Amino acid sequence: MSSTSYSDAHSNTLRSTFTIGILGAGQLARMSALEAFRYGFRVASYSDRTMDEPLQWMTPLNCTGSFHDVEAMVKFASLCDVLTLENEFIDSEVLREVVERSGKPLFPGADTFASIENKRIEKETFQDHGIPVVPFKVVSAIEDFTWFGETYGWPFLLKSSKGGYDGYGNRVVNNYAEALKAFKSLGGDNGHEILAEAFIEFERELAVQVARNSTGSEVYPCCETIQTNQICTAVLCPAPIDVSIQQKAQDLALKAMEVIHGVGLFAFEFFLTKDGQLLLNESAPRPHNSGHYTIEACITSQFENHIRAVAGLPLGSASLRVPSAVMINLLGVHNRETLTEYALDSMQYKDAHLHLYGKKSSRIGRKMGHLTLLSHDASERVEELYHRALSLANQIEI
């Protein structure tokens, strides 16, 4: 890792004109920006959307354009001291050219990003370094579907190699006819790379965040993520599993971060199989939904460590402040202008923390905010806290 500090931290100086440019302007960028503002930094956003995004309400330094438009992104970079990512829907070659032409540092770097740029490259990178991953294969012909189904069993998953999130870009297929239909719907006939992934009989889905820069690394606790219709709906921390498995997940996440020479804040998602194996499912080169609980529950949140990491500052502790925490995603239940109803009970509840993302419009299933509930009782099981948090969150309607 480079030892260069981009915040003048080496001279114990935080410069108020220091500007962090975020590629993306959604809720993740917004929550990172809140931490940057705490240090007196400026934040600029570059978005490929012209609608009112959560970060765009917070800073006058907004640019819109395509993530393929190198000229526009170089112009944006000229406003910034350092660049970072909110999403991965961009090409590494574009990032590399922007860095070369602008002379501005980017964290994570283009080489790091290239090593996990799409789902195939990501799995190959980690598998080549001894990190177990879900069995996969690039599929493009009839014999590929047949072979994969016969080898790993039906059903299996078809995934767009790049661009999928929250269930978008994924299909579960039960037979050849469904596989062929899904392949076409995902763009396989139009040159999009499609992966087949084995359907894993897992016990739990786990996640670990890692912050890393030239000052060191911080590994967050291992948490459990609850998925509904391929969207994360809740996070339980610590994960209700044996401590030895928690530690193994943290060790694998740190190893994965070091393999790709990651600088910034990354998230790593795992399957815990029924026979006790850990398989790395996906990584994210940015703050992640599974780490929202860290805002109140950890000494230093994932968003603060994101800012510290890219600014070259010493990292803060990722340890829990409380015995346990649960985060519930608040999904839209209406297609309308955003109105949050029945939230007062949760706001009056001891150590319940409501976060709303400031999105202009709600739609069914859209992530509109989250609720985090903390427990100070070491004897309370995290599953019990989950049911209390879920009861509170279910009263809220957006």
Residue 126 included in any domain: no
Strands 82-85 and 264-273: unpaired
Q: How far is CA 348 from the centre of its chain?
A: 29
Question: Is there a single domain that holds both residue 236 and residue 344?
Answer: yes
Q: CA-CA distance, 127 to 123, in Å (whole number)?
A: 6
The pLDDT-based confidence of 1 (bands split at 50, 70, 90) is very low
29 in helix, strand or coil? Answer: helix
Give bridge partners of residue 282 from the DSSP assignment: 269
DSSP strands (E only) in the chain: 19-23, 42-47, 62-64, 82-85, 106-107, 136-139, 156-160, 170-173, 194-198, 202-213, 216-219, 223-228, 231-237, 264-273, 278-284, 324-331, 336-337, 352-356, 361-362, 367-375
Question: Is there a single domain that holds both residue 301 and residue 254?
Answer: yes
Q: What is the pLDDT of residues 37-58, one digit of tens each?
A: 999 999 999 999 877 899 999 9
Q: Where are the alpha helices (DSSP H) in 260-362?
A: 294-297, 302-311, 344-348
How much is the pLDDT for 163?
Answer: 64
Q: Which of 39, 117, 31 minimizes the C-alpha distance to 291?
A: 31
**Mean pLDDT of all residues in 344-359:** 91
Residue 308 included in any domain: yes
How much is the pLDDT for 9?
Answer: 47
Residue 394 pLDDT greater than 70, yes or no: yes
Residue 350 included in any domain: yes
Rounded to 10 deg, the angle between the 92-102 and 70-77 helix axes is 50
Question: Is there a single domain that holds both residue 259 and residue 173?
Answer: no
Residue 129 included in any domain: no
CB count, 10 Å around CB of 286? 23
Residue 1 included in any domain: no
Q: CA-CA distance, 138 to 184, in Å (whole number)?
A: 14
Question: Is there a single domain that holds both residue 185 and residue 157?
Answer: yes
Question: Is there a single domain that holds both residue 90 and residue 223?
Answer: no
How much is the pLDDT for 5?
Answer: 44
Domain boundary at 147, 177, 198, which? 198
Question: Is there a single domain that holds both residue 388 and residue 253?
Answer: yes
Query: CA dist 197 to 89, 122, 154, 162, Å?
Result: 21, 13, 11, 14
Q: List the CATH number of the domain containing 280.
A: 3.30.470.20
Q: What is the pLDDT of residues 260-314, one digit of tens each?
A: 999 999 999 999 999 999 999 999 999 999 999 999 999 999 999 999 999 999 9
Mean pLDDT of the chain: 93
Residue 110 pLDDT greater than 90, yes or no: yes
Residue 8 pLDDT greater than 80, yes or no: no
Q: Is the Cα torsion angle 355, 293, 295, 281 positive or negative in sign?
A: negative
Contacts of 55 (CB under 8 A, 6+ apart): 22, 24, 25, 26, 29, 30, 33, 43, 45, 47, 62
Q: List the CATH number of the domain containing 192.
A: 3.30.1490.20
Residue 124 included in any domain: no
How much is the pLDDT for 14?
Answer: 84
Type of residue found at 363: R
Domain boundary at 67, 84, 114, which? 114
Residue 29 included in any domain: yes
**Domain that residue 25 falls in:** 9-114
Q: Is the distance from CB of 22 to CB of 32 less than 8 angstroms?
A: yes
Question: Is there a single domain that holds both residue 234 and residue 351?
Answer: yes
Residue 373 pLDDT greater than 60, yes or no: yes
How much is the pLDDT for 6?
Answer: 47
Question: Is there a single domain that holds both residue 234 and residue 295?
Answer: yes
- Provide the domain count of the chain: 3
Query: What DSSP string describes 178-238?
Result: HHHHHHHHTTGGGT--EEEEE---EEEEEEEEEEEETTEEEEPPPEEEEEETTEEEEEEES
Question: Is there a single domain that holds both residue 257 and residue 384?
Answer: yes
Q: Is the distance from CB of 192 to CB of 186 less than 8 angstroms?
A: yes
94 in helix, strand or coil? Answer: helix
Residue 2 pLDDT greater than 60, yes or no: no
Q: Is the Cα torsion angle 301, 303, 309, 312 positive or negative in sign?
A: negative
Q: Is the distance from CB of 315 to CB of 294 less than 8 angstroms?
A: no
Question: Is there a single domain that holds both residue 323 and residue 241?
Answer: yes
70 in helix, strand or coil? Answer: helix
Question: Is there a single domain that holds both residue 43 and residue 95?
Answer: yes
Domain boundary at 173, 198, 223, which? 198
Q: Is the distance from CB of 233 to CB of 222 less than 8 angstroms?
A: no
**Mean pLDDT of all residues in 136-158:** 90
Q: List the CATH number of the domain containing 69.
A: 3.40.50.20
Q: CA-CA distance, 392 to 237, in Å (whole number)?
A: 18
Residue 155 included in any domain: yes
Strands 194-198 and 202-213: unpaired
The pLDDT-based confidence of 191 (bands split at 50, 70, 90) is confident
Question: Is there a single domain that holds both residue 325 and residue 265?
Answer: yes
